[in-house]
Amino acid sequence: MSRLIVVSNRVADVTKAVQSGGLATAVADALQEARGLWFGWDGTVVSNDTHIGISINQQGNVRTATVPLSQRDYDEYYVGFSNNVLWPSFHYRLDLNLIDSKSIDGYRRVNQRFARALAALLEPDDLIWIHDYHFIPLAAELRALGVKHRIGFFLHIPFPPPDIFLAVPEQQWLARAMFSYDLVGFQTASDTQNFIRYVLEQAGGEQVSDTELKAFGGTIKVRPFPIGIDVEAFYDMAHTPTADEQIQRLQRRSMASNHIIGVDRLDYSKGLPDRLRAFRRLLDLYPENRKAVTLMQISPPTREDVQAYADIRQELEGLSGAINGEYSDFDWTPVRYIHRAVPRATLAALFRGSQVGLVTPLRDGMNLVAKEYIAAQDADDPGVLVLSRFAGAAEELTDAILVNPYDNDEVAQALQRSLTMKKEERIERHNALFDKVQKHDVKNWRETFLNELKSSRRANESG
Ligand code: ADQ
């Protein structure tokens, strides 16, 4: 069996990966099975003149190889190009795209450095799986060093339509770099179509078959692989005696009989200010919810070095303060805003104890919270998922109440409909949603991607 090499910006503690969720959980099991190597940034920043070495550690079956970033690399590659150019642009936020040429140089430089460090660790049969927007050019840099291995790429965030991608500096260089992979995976069919359209319309490419795309002198495979979660593990976490106790406490301590829950990193792509405005509209339009419903929003800090993230924090704190000031009573607080990470088991219990899961990103690659909310419910008395049309998850989860997250009135009406929905309809919707979440779980995602990668081989005109 080939050894699996996973490359991602952050390398998690493999022993704790299941608790941390997202990408960490998704790849940790695959690495365990394949006695793999996980390569990436160790999360530290060192001064520029320090020698940057690689640290190798063994954690069970898995080896981790990590490197620190210099202050300059952190500023240019991580904050600059990855999070001030690619993240906003790929989330359709060109207004937040801060283009500067130094950051592009830093992005290129770090990808070259990571390629050199990784190339030195490779064994002949290794299968390489590179993750996310930090490393789009990594395969091209590896190929330049003579690496001939099979390399797959999965983009966790959306891929925007051509008109938006055209506003990203060096977009042609990025698109060309994608043709150094054997397989390129996106979250949804519409992301895949966006990429294909760019290649056909702007790069003179040709679609060879449903999944094969030819351009820049090479032919690669491209297709959607919607990411999922470990459904059983999440369901079990929501159904322990401790979870039962936490749910009872939530109900006892709160005057409200109904709970709406939102859980998202504090990121401008998640639509949090509009979510709070929609909740305020619910209280305005349907006053029977006053003293009867709370919104619990759990949002841990993230990327605080990026100005746009400091701005969103301020906006959200202002809004929740204003709503509470306007509507609270001595025995009821409408918005409970928690600005920190919460243990996953507590999240699972809170999802199960909440009548509505409110997931309203303005744009999201997939959104695992939507799937976690479904997984946590009791099948005989489930809650209702209100989901943004602009989350990748909406492509599969069509039995949720789908909403336009920009339209506060529409979201308020969807909340009212969910809070008053009859049990039979809730059960019917939940059954359909649960089936989909279970069918496309994380194991299925990982195995489908890796099987496809094993059978993909890039055709390259230059040999
Ligand atoms: P994210 O933008 O981080 O992921 P999401 O898919 O929702 O978004 O995953 C977040 C994870 O973090 C979930 O497992 C959630 O439970 C957890 N989490 C969030 N808030 C938390 C808190 N306060 N405490 C503890 N845990 C918390 C990116 C893309 C997504 C894509 C994923 C996976 O932006 O679109 O779905 O990668 O590909």
Is a pLDDT exceeding 60 seen at residue 18?
A: no
Give the span between the Cα atoms of 145 and 174, in whole angstroms. 18
Mean of the pLDDT values across residues 72-85?
Answer: 95
Q: Would you state the pLDDT for residue 55? A: 93
Question: Which of 265, 299, 336 gets mutated to test ligand 1 (max ligand atoms within 8 A of its CB)?
Answer: 265
229's CB contacts (< 8 A; 6+ apart) are 25, 368, 371, 372, 375, 437, 441, 442
Check if 338 has its Cβ closer than 6 Å to any atom of ligand 1: no
Tokens representing residue 176 in the block: 């060309």
Q: How confident is the model at residue 52 (pLDDT cuts 50, 70, 90)?
A: confident
Q: What percent of the chain has pLDDT over 90?
A: 83
Q: Would you state the pLDDT for residue 123? A: 95
**Is the alpha carbon torsion for 420, 422, 423, 428 positive or negative?**
negative
Asked whether 18 and 233 are in contact (CB, 8 A), the reply is: yes
Structure confidence by residue, pLDDT tens digits, 379-402:
999 999 999 999 999 999 999 999
Provide the 8-state DSSP code for 214.
Answer: E
Check if 157 has its Cβ closer than 6 Å to any atom of ligand 1: yes
* 368 Cα nearest atom in ligand 1: 6
Q: Would you state the pLDDT for residue 223? A: 97
Q: Would you state the pLDDT for residue 324? A: 97
Is a pLDDT exceeding 90 seen at residue 403?
A: yes
Tokens representing residue 193 in the block: 């179509």
How far lies 57's CA from each of 9, 234, 261, in Å? Answer: 17, 29, 39
Q: How confident is the model at residue 302 (pLDDT cuts 50, 70, 90)?
A: confident
Mean of the pLDDT values across residues 281-300?
Answer: 96
Check if 282 has its Cβ closer than 6 Å to any atom of ligand 1: no
Q: How confident is the model at residue 50 (pLDDT cuts 50, 70, 90)?
A: low
Of 345, 370, 313, 361, residue with least CA distance to 20: 345
Tokens representing residue 289 in the block: 């919810």
Check if 73 has its Cβ closer than 6 Å to any atom of ligand 1: no
Structure confidence by residue, pLDDT tens digits, 158-200:
999 999 999 999 999 999 999 999 999 999 999 999 999 999 9
Give the residue whose CA is nearest to atom 15 of ligand 1: 369
How far is residue 238 CA from its own chain's centroid? 22
Check if 372 has its Cβ closer than 6 Å to any atom of ligand 1: yes
* 392 Cα nearest atom in ligand 1: 35
Give the span between the Cα atoms of 459 and 138, in whole angstroms. 18
Ligand 1 centroid–CA 268 distance in Å is 14
Task: Give, rounded to a whole angstrom, the gap between the first and last alpha carbons of the chain.
Answer: 26
Is a pLDDT exceeding 90 seen at residue 371?
A: yes
Q: Would you state the pLDDT for residue 460? A: 79
Average model confidence (pLDDT) across the chain: 93
- Whether 42 sits among the annotated catalytic residues: the reply is no
The residue from 91, 131, 134, 156 that is catalytic is 156
Provide the 8-state DSSP code for 135.
Answer: G
Check if 347 has its Cβ closer than 6 Å to any atom of ligand 1: yes
How far lies 234's CA from each of 348, 349, 382, 434, in Å? Answer: 7, 10, 15, 12
CB-neighbour burial class of residue 352 (10 A; exposed 0-12, middle 13-18, buried 19+): buried
Structure confidence by residue, pLDDT tens digits, 232-263:
999 999 999 999 999 998 888 777 789 999 99
Provide the 8-state DSSP code for 444.
Answer: H
Q: What percent of the chain has pLDDT over 70?
A: 97
What DSSP string describes 224-260?
E------HHHHHHHHTSHHHHHHHHHHHHH-S-SEEE
Check if 357 has its Cβ closer than 6 Å to any atom of ligand 1: no
Dihedral in degrees, nearest 10, Cα atoms 128, 209, 170, 177: 30
* 187 Cα nearest atom in ligand 1: 38
Asked whether 63 and 37 are in contact (CB, 8 A), the reply is: yes
- Whether 339 sits among the annotated catalytic residues: the reply is no
Q: Would you state the pLDDT for residue 17? A: 58
Q: How confident is the model at residue 140 (pLDDT cuts 50, 70, 90)?
A: very high
Structure confidence by residue, pLDDT tens digits, 172-182:
999 999 999 99
Q: How confident is the model at residue 311 (pLDDT cuts 50, 70, 90)?
A: confident
Question: Which of 89, 263, 372, 437 gets mutated to test ligand 1 (max ligand atoms within 8 A of its CB)?
Answer: 263
Mean of the pLDDT values across residues 277-283?
Answer: 98
* 299 Cα nearest atom in ligand 1: 23
Is a pLDDT exceeding 90 seen at residue 307?
A: no
Domains of the chain, CATH where assigned: 4-228+443-455 (3.40.50.2000), 231-440 (3.40.50.2000)
Check if 369 has its Cβ closer than 6 Å to any atom of ligand 1: yes
Is a pLDDT exceeding 90 seen at residue 321?
A: yes
Tokens representing residue 311 in the block: 């701005």
For 283-299, give one letter per residue: b (16+ CB within 10 A) or e.
beebeebbbebbbbbbb
Is a pLDDT exceeding 80 seen at residue 51?
A: no
The residue from 364, 399, 440, 441 that is catalytic is 364
Give the span between the Cα atoms of 280 and 231, in whole angstroms. 33
Check if 191 has its Cβ closer than 6 Å to any atom of ligand 1: no
Q: Would you state the pLDDT for residue 49? A: 64
Ligand 1 centroid–CA 262 distance in Å is 12
Question: Which of 155, 346, 367, 397 gets mutated to test ligand 1 (max ligand atoms within 8 A of its CB)?
Answer: 367
Ligand 1 centroid–CA 136 distance in Å is 21
Check if 336 has its Cβ closer than 6 Å to any atom of ligand 1: no
Q: How confident is the model at residue 102 (pLDDT cuts 50, 70, 90)?
A: confident
Is a pLDDT exceeding 90 seen at residue 6?
A: yes
22's CB contacts (< 8 A; 6+ apart) are 368
User: pTM of the prediction?
Assistant: 0.96
